[in-house]
Structure 1
Amino acid sequence: MEKVESYLAALREENTHQNLVSARSLEQAWIRHLADSAQLLDHVPRETLTWLDLGTGPGLPGIILACMRPNFRFILVESRRRRVDWLHDVAQAVGLANVQIEGSRLELVSDCKVDVITARAFAPLPKLIDLSARFSTDATYWVLPKGRSAAQELHELPRSARKMFHVEQSVTDPEAGILVGKLSKSERM
């Protein structure tokens, strides 16, 4: 928890220099950022090794999860240079040797297969799948906090892909959902 506290302190400080999260969310950082990120662990096996966090922004949920699971490897993808620089600094300051920061657009990130893919506010679900399916296998868990749009985004998928996901209730917001599922080989193509 010391690492999480260090990260949240760094987030508060940096938020005065660049808009990483809403100032209002920092008033409830333990619920809005820590608990909101930590709940994703409930949807993946404990044996998970590699986690890909797309459009990580200020490192949410990736940095929080990396603090909580030092035996997992986290790849955080963020294209905005200023945020990338801050993520490198905060990961080093907090002592997160299990974090790799990819400072580029997702389309330019080298292919690798991962156990979990997450994206907090990256893109609508069909586009997200289209851009990131190449990182997935039949065993990859997709754990996507989608807020109030979870059911709607699921409904917008083609029927064949829709049956591979389900909506889990967020423990931090009664109106929010998390899309959880796996893609079949045919859906990854």
Structure 2
Amino acid sequence: MLALPEHLRAPAERLFGDRLELAQRFTDLLAEQGVERGLIGPREVERLWERHIINCALLSDAIPEDAASLADVGSGAGLPGVVIAIARPDLPVTLIETMQRRATWLEEVDAELDLGLEVVRARAEELHGDRDFAVVTARAVAALDKLAKWTMPLVADGGSLIAMKGSSAEDELDAAQKVLRRLGGDEGTVLRCGEGEVDLPTTVVHVRRRARATRKGDPRG
């Protein structure tokens, strides 16, 4: 078992509540299988809790309490989608992943942890016009201007794109303004979730989608 570091116990208990054991089980699955299955690098195992599990769980602080649905685009190892599903059992979560081996992993995790996930093997743009969600999340998928073209058409009217970013968040948001406006987004804000609670706060870009905005994105290429 990959033990939860003591300095992260308080935020973990706040974020996961009585589902912390589920978070532990998911962390152990990643630690045991993630490297072999090409989901994480070898050096990530020892820092799974801090750099990945808690980092992703903090994203739930940016998700409206009354959100009706969430899609995680490019879910990969289940970061952040599976973590959010554990932290927010009230929220129906759809994981969108293009690669078969990763989609299979996500289905296995869902079966093992009984999370009630929907796993969709597709590119985000293949769902344009067919599906929409109150919240769309993404982590380490693409620069924001490109990511917005794939994800904003999936955001329901009045919903939100919440993209996990690093130190380049402000610069990416500035560079994406034209694309965001065209796709019906507001100017967006940069949030740092967990400041004062953890050493490594989670930086996210939050973009709200205006009602009756265009749903026409761009194909990937």
Asked if Structure 1 and Structure 2 have the same fold, meaning a TM-score greater than 0.5 normalized by the shorter chain, the answer is yes
- Does residue 181 of the first structure (1) align with residue 207 of the second (2)? yes
- Equivalences for 1:36-115 in 2 at 5 Å? 36-97=55-116, 99-109=117-127, 111-115=130-134
CA positional deviation for 1:51? 0.6
CA RMSD of aligned residues (A): 2.2
CA positional deviation for 1:56? 0.7
Task: Judge conservation of contact 1:147–1:175 (CA < 8 Å) in 2.
Answer: no
Q: Structure 1 residues 88, 174: closer, same or farther in 2, change over 3 A?
A: closer
Q: Structure 1 residues 154, 57: closer, same or farther in 2, change over 3 A?
A: same
Question: SS of 2:157's equivalent?
Answer: coil
- Does residue 166 of the first structure (1) align with residue 189 of the second (2)? yes
1:134: which partner in 2?
A: 153
The superposition leaves residues 7-41 of structure 1 with CA deviations (integer Å, 9 ceiling, x where unpaired) of: 11111121231221222222122221221111111
Q: Structure 1 residues 23, 48: closer, same or farther in 2, change over 3 A?
A: same
Task: Judge conservation of contact 1:119–1:145 (CA < 8 Å) in 2.
Answer: yes
Task: Judge conservation of contact 1:148–1:175 (CA < 8 Å) in 2.
Answer: no
Which amino acid letter does the alignment assign opposite residue 53 of structure 1? D
Task: Judge conservation of contact 1:12–1:26 (CA < 8 Å) in 2.
Answer: yes
Which amino acid letter does the alignment assign opposite residue 189 of structure 2? H
Task: Judge conservation of contact 1:145–1:178 (CA < 8 Å) in 2.
Answer: yes
Task: Judge conservation of contact 1:144–1:178 (CA < 8 Å) in 2.
Answer: yes
Give 5+ residue unaligned stretches, structure 1.
none
Distance 1:176 1:4 in 2: 18
CA positional deviation for 1:147? 1.1
CA positional deviation for 1:186? 4.0
Distance 2:169 2:33 in 1: 30
Q: Structure 1 residues 188, 107: closer, same or farther in 2, change over 3 A?
A: closer
Question: SS of 2:89's equivalent?
Answer: coil
2:14: which partner in 1?
A: none
Distance 2:201 2:23 in 1: 26
Q: Structure 1 residues 141, 163: closer, same or farther in 2, change over 3 A?
A: closer
2:39: which partner in 1?
A: 20
Aligned residues: percent identity?
A: 28
Which amino acid letter does the alignment assign opposite residue 109 of structure 2? V
Which amino acid letter does the alignment assign opposite residue 165 of structure 1? G
Distance 1:131 1:186 in 2: 15
Distance 2:173 2:111 in 1: 37
CA positional deviation for 1:188? 4.7
Out of 137, 140, 152, the residue aligned to residue 121 of structure 1 is 140
Task: Judge conservation of contact 2:96–2:121 (CA < 8 Å) in 1.
Answer: yes
Out of 23, 26, 31, the residue aligned to residue 50 of structure 2 is 31
1:9: which partner in 2?
A: 28
Question: SS of 1:21's equivalent?
Answer: coil
